[in-house]
Structure 1
Amino acid sequence: MRLATFRTLGGVDTVGVVEGDQLHPFPTWLTMLDVVGGGLDYARELAAKARQADGVPVSAVQLLAPLRPPSIRDFVTFEEHVEGVRRSVDGASGVPEAWYDAPTFYFTNPHSVLGDGDVVEFPSASRARDFELEVAVVVGREGRSLDAEQASAAIFGYVVLNDWSARDLQSREMQVGLGPAKGKDFANTLGPWIVTADEMDAYKDGDGFLQLRCSVEVNGELVGHDLLSNMGWSFETMIAYASRDSRVLPGDVLGSGTTGNGGCLAELWGLRGERTPPPLVDGDVVTVTVEGIGALTNRVGTAPEPPALPAFRAPSRDRDRTAMFPA
């Protein structure tokens, strides 16, 4: 099933099942988190009932981000991507040994999720603007310290993810040893819909990795392409690791990390030693496409300049308050 969230001409946000070029709405009080939390069998029941009524053309509605996830963990599972981006962002070469220990991730902002067709407004201070071609898994059930088999059963579906990056901001702030923060905080795009896990079985190789063709275009020109099966860890392993000594919840989104072979500009900049292709600019149109799931298209823009921050105040390093409250 392909499950979408869309806005009708009447301005109502609704969840539904996509069949061909038609959308069949679910009851209007349901959100995608309700559907995901109910599980695949519940989604199938809803879809069967929805198909009994007339649908609306996909072209007649506005597709939104399919869900508002409770959390987004973005992993980095492509070795080739690490090699290129590390050189570009950190000025270092090779892959850190620690990367091979486990599928590393960071938390990104679930409040800045955008959908297909939305304008992505980069921070006004950024000039090194980049896309990131990814696939994300959507968790369908709660779990803690799951093993790989339990993690597999927890998969609800998959969605295309574009994790936009302001590389210049990212490079500067990560010198502190934390982040990325504002280099990633402003936007990520999910969509165009969630494809349920059962639809992906035909694409699995012998190890259970998804052999999906992934590509990205800027203004209609191909920049990068890769197979999703080049991931170093499976989505099941990612869920198991995310849940270790912690919890995953229905609707949590876990990104694969950026594919190799030009899945982002920074990888190419690091490998080539120069910024070719150039960073994104206002008006650029980026389309990321994943076989079996769909395509996301967004136009690049610039956010209004934010108000200035107060400057750093050097502390006195006093250890008591005698200077403030003399005897």
Structure 2
Amino acid sequence: MRIATYLYEGRRHCGVVDGTVVRALPDGTSPLDALGARPVGDAVPLSDVHLLPPLQPPTVRDFVTFEEHVEGVRRSVDGTAGVPERWYAAPTFYFTNPYAVYGPHDDIPMPPGSSVLDFELEVAAVIGKEGRDLTPEQARDHIVGYTVFNDWSARDLQSAEMKVGLGPCKGKDTATTLGPYLVTADELERYRDADGFLRLALTAEVNGEVVGEDLLSNMSWTFEEMVSYASRGTWVRPGDVLGSGTCGNGGCLAELWGVRGRQEPAPLKPGDTVTLTVEGIGSVSNTVVTGPDPVPVPSARRRPRERP
């Protein structure tokens, strides 16, 4: 099942996509409840609706599970070759901003103060029921579906912020694209390989030109293992989104910059359109637009360190 959240004739709906049409589910049905609901609306052409993010997640964890991506971006961001040995120990992630989620065809504003914008081609798993301290085997039953995930990244801000030893901060939290639909987990089982990975073709285009291609099965951890790690000592709950991390072989511009030693292709600018396609899920296509100027914040004051 493919579940869409959309605007039609001024109203927000959740519906089931069937080919080129969508049929609304009963009012009040959430994307996570759609498996148990039956469409009640007439078929509406997808061309007549405005697709919204398929869900509004309470939390967004973004992992980094592609070794090739780590190699390239590390070289681009801080000039260091190779992969940190610690990366191999566990599927590392950070929490990104659930208040900055955009739909599959929304315009994306330039992050304030940035001139080096990048995309990141990812797939996200969505949690359907809560759990904690899950084994990977248990975790499979907690994944309701998958969606395309674009982690928009201001590389200049990211590089500067992470010198502090924290982050990413404003380098990452102004935009994340989800869409076009929430595809239920059963739809993708036919792509699962013998090792438990989903073998889905991934393609990234900028202004119609292919800049990256990879397979999702090149991840070093499965989504079930990622969910297990995320639930260690805490909860995963319905609607939580877990991004795969950026794929390799051109899954973002920064990886290509690291490999080539120069910013080619150039950083994204207003007017550029990024289209990300995932086999079995669909495509998201967003155009970059001019964003707001940064609100000034003073630099740190050197305080006298007085004591009471």
Structure 1 length normalisation: TM-score?
0.92
Question: Is the Cα contact below 8 Å between 2:117 and 2:269 reproduced in 1?
Answer: yes
1:287 counterpart = 2:275: yes
Partners of 2:2 and 2:211 in 1: CA distance: 27
Question: Is the Cα contact below 8 Å between 2:77 and 2:159 reproduced in 1?
Answer: yes
One-letter code aligned to 1:2: R
Q: Which residue of 2 aligns with 1:164?
A: 152
Partners of 1:303 and 1:172 in 2: CA distance: 20
Identity within the alignment, %:
60
Q: Which residue of 1 aligns with 2:13?
A: 14
Partner deviation per Cα, 1:230-267 (whole Å, 9 max, x = no partner): 00000000000000011100110000000000000000
Partners of 1:311 and 1:158 in 2: CA distance: 41
1:255 counterpart = 2:246: no
Partners of 1:200 and 1:133 in 2: CA distance: 18
Partners of 1:247 and 1:54 in 2: CA distance: 38
Question: Is the Cα contact below 8 Å between 2:108 and 2:288 reproduced in 1?
Answer: yes
Question: Is the Cα contact below 8 Å between 2:63 and 2:93 reproduced in 1?
Answer: yes
Q: Which residue of 2 aligns with 1:194?
A: 182
Q: Which residue of 2 aligns with 1:5?
A: 5
1:178 counterpart = 2:160: no
Question: Is the Cα contact below 8 Å between 1:158 and 1:195 reproduced in 2?
Answer: yes
Partner deviation per Cα, 1:63-84 (whole Å, 9 max, x = no partner): 0000000100000000000000
Q: Which residue of 1 aligns with 2:46?
A: 58
Partners of 1:122 and 1:13 in 2: CA distance: 27
Partners of 1:100 and 1:307 in 2: CA distance: 39
Ranges in structure 1 where 5+ consecutive residues have no aligned partner: 321-327
1:205 counterpart = 2:218: no
Number of aligned positions between the proteins:
308
Question: Is the Cα contact below 8 Å between 2:25 and 2:41 reproduced in 1?
Answer: no
Question: Is the Cα contact below 8 Å between 1:124 and 1:302 reproduced in 2?
Answer: no
- SS across alignment from 1:300: strand
- SS across alignment from 2:131: coil
Deviation of 1:306 after TM superposition, in Å, equals 2.6
User: Paired residue for 1:135, among 84, 106, 123?
Assistant: 123
Q: Which deviates further from its counterpart, 90-99 or 257-266?
A: 90-99
Q: Which residue of 2 aligns with 1:308?
A: 296
- SS across alignment from 2:235: coil
One-letter code aligned to 1:126: S
1:155 counterpart = 2:139: no
- SS across alignment from 1:110: coil
One-letter code aligned to 2:11: V
Provide the aligned C-alpha RMSD in A: 1.0
- SS across alignment from 1:161: strand
1:109 counterpart = 2:97: yes
Partners of 2:179 and 2:186 in 1: CA distance: 18
Partners of 1:150 and 1:133 in 2: CA distance: 27
Alignment of 1:47-126 (within 5 A): 49-50=38-39, 53-126=41-114
Question: Is the Cα contact below 8 Å between 1:140 and 1:251 reproduced in 2?
Answer: yes
1:272 counterpart = 2:271: no
1:225 counterpart = 2:224: no
Partners of 2:161 and 2:220 in 1: CA distance: 27
Partners of 2:210 and 2:262 in 1: CA distance: 19
- SS across alignment from 1:87: helix
Deviation of 1:149 after TM superposition, in Å, equals 1.0
Deviation of 1:311 after TM superposition, in Å, equals 3.1
Cα gap change, 1:6/1:53 in structure 2, threshold over 3 Å: closer, same or farther?
closer
Partners of 2:244 and 2:36 in 1: CA distance: 29
Question: Is the Cα contact below 8 Å between 1:4 and 1:16 reproduced in 2?
Answer: yes
Partners of 2:82 and 2:209 in 1: CA distance: 29
Question: Is the Cα contact below 8 Å between 2:110 and 2:292 reproduced in 1?
Answer: no
Partner deviation per Cα, 1:118-144 (whole Å, 9 max, x = no partner): 111122321111000000000111001
Deviation of 1:53 after TM superposition, in Å, equals 4.6
One-letter code aligned to 1:8: Y
Question: Is the Cα contact below 8 Å between 1:200 and 1:210 reproduced in 2?
Answer: yes
Partner deviation per Cα, 1:134-161 (whole Å, 9 max, x = no partner): 0000011100110011101111000000
One-letter code aligned to 1:19: D
One-letter code aligned to 1:7: L
One-letter code aligned to 2:153: S
Partners of 1:237 and 1:267 in 2: CA distance: 25
Partners of 1:261 and 1:103 in 2: CA distance: 20
Partners of 2:167 and 2:41 in 1: CA distance: 48
Question: Is the Cα contact below 8 Å between 2:113 and 2:294 reproduced in 1?
Answer: no
Q: Which residue of 2 aligns with 1:324?
A: none
Structure 2 length normalisation: TM-score?
0.98
Deviation of 1:22 after TM superposition, in Å, equals 1.1
Q: Which residue of 2 aligns with 1:29?
A: 28
Partners of 2:287 and 2:41 in 1: CA distance: 35
Question: Is the Cα contact below 8 Å between 1:18 and 1:24 reproduced in 2?
Answer: yes
